Amino acid sequence: MNYENEHIANTYQRLPVNIQNGSGAILHDINGKRYIDMMGGYGVAILGYGNKAVKEAVCKQFDIISIAHASEYTPAREEFIKDLTGIVPSGLDKFYLGNIGAEAIEAAIKVVIKSSKKHKIIAMTNSYHGKTAGALSITYSEKYRKSFGQLLMKDVEFIRYNNMEDLDKLDKDPDIAAVFFEPVQGEGGINIPSYDYVRELRNRTENNGIILVADEIQSGLGRTGKMWAHEHFNIKPDIITIGKGIGGGMPLSITAGKPEFMDNLSKGEQSSTTGGNPLAMAAGSAVIKQLGASMIMDVERKGNILRDELKAGLQDAKSVKEIRGLGLMDAIELKTKFLPVLMGMINRGILPLYSGINIIRMLPPYVISDSELKEAAGIMSEVILSQGTEVIS
């Protein structure tokens, strides 16, 4: 840990865990201590650790060809694209292949600016889209933005997430190229908008010729109990961004859109040396082939178990404001600061995520067992009940 601290840039909130290995939803640290992984590598480990099909696909691909730039054709990429076409919303079948989520957002920003010939982008309060310059420009948190004013796009406006009134803006401003939104906000604290709001957002963008981009980097790929979180609201966006679990641990992200928009990017206007590389393609195909309807239905069922167990365990907890979520994208909103609770949970062998200053966030692997979920919910409840109730002022 000390060597990492000395040499890795100090940009991450480090947790006191030193992970050695993992299997399924269980991790072990270098001393052999067991953790139930409620963080899932920030939502990447959807199939858990040590997934055999992903391992075999990557090893096999390494022997065939490990590097083929996107200027060259290669069968692994073609297979991946066919697999991807099978899971994206119909018609959103032109892709830009990148490596990290923020890169998918950057590509989407270029697509909407080029397609609309307009420059204004509408984003939402509490949004999170990544930390590269374009993505940061549409990310809400002042904490992340404040030192980098000169990097940020000027023509960005934030409207209130899940606020009907603010949608009037879309009728009044002819300069808007696109709206970027998360169908369920992740980093912002697992915020689920109302059905009517998302429907209205789609109507207004459609009526005003505004491109609607759904950032599904955290909420997509079955995480909320449907393949894409926007399906809960019965809408179809024009572009979606995909990341995190799609690469089975290999860096892989996708901007998927209607060809009429994606085709507006010209040669050279967006590229990545490793985007669409064969190893990520092989891993991605192996992930998609395992993401069947039954696994996604199971995510919904497991999410219900998790929230039911937490609600039962925490019914008398004075420090809990709300337990909410969709599928395995869940939160416990506390009335107290999360840090002592998080440390207490880590101490007891549970590794959750957090948001803001008072939210415990959960993005466990889909392969977590019912008994592991119940064990985690039980321990998390005990830790919360054992903590003080000093309310945030």
Ligand X SMILES: Cc1ncc(COP(=O)(O)O)c(C=O)c1O
Q: For residues 235 and 48, give the distance between their C-alpha atoms in angstroms, rounded to a whole number.
A: 30
Closest-by-Cβ residue to ligand X is: 101
**Contact mark string toward ligand X, 218..257, x via CB under 6 A:** x------------------------x--------------
**Nearer Cβ to ligand X (106/298):** 106
- 330 lines the binding site for ligand X (CB under 6 A): no
**Nearer Cβ to ligand X (101/222):** 101
Q: Provide the b/e sequence for 370-383 (b: ≥16 CB within 10 Å).
A: eebbebbbbbbbbb
Binding residue for ligand X, selected from 118, 129, 202, 307, defined by CB under 6 A: 129
Residue with tokens 């995480």: 223
- 298 lines the binding site for ligand X (CB under 6 A): no
Q: For residues 45 and 365, give the distance between their C-alpha atoms in angstroms, rounded to a whole number.
A: 6
Residue with tokens 């109302």: 194
Minimum Å gap between C-beta 43 and ligand X is 7
Binding residue for ligand X, selected from 47, 138, 217, 328, defined by CB under 6 A: 217
- 187 lines the binding site for ligand X (CB under 6 A): yes
Contact 255, 108 (CB under 8 A): yes
Percent of the chain that is helix, strand, coil (3-state, to 5): 40, 20, 40
**Contact mark string toward ligand X, 75..104, x via CB under 6 A:** -------------------------xxx--
Binding residue for ligand X, selected from 41, 48, 183, 186, defined by CB under 6 A: 186
Q: For residues 300 and 366, give the distance between their C-alpha atoms in angstroms, rounded to a whole number.
A: 10
Binding residue for ligand X, selected from 37, 106, 166, 215, defined by CB under 6 A: 215
Minimum Å gap between C-beta 63 and ligand X is 28
Minimum Å gap between C-beta 105 and ligand X is 6
Q: Is 109 left (phi over 0), alpha (psi -120 to 50) or beta?
A: alpha
Beta strand 329-334 with 156-159: parallel, antiparallel or unpaired? unpaired
- Measured in degrees and rounded to the nearest 5, phi and psi for residue 247 equal -95, 5
Query: Where along the sequence are the contacts to ligand X (CB under 6 A)?
Result: 100-102, 105, 128-130, 182, 186-187, 215, 217-218, 243
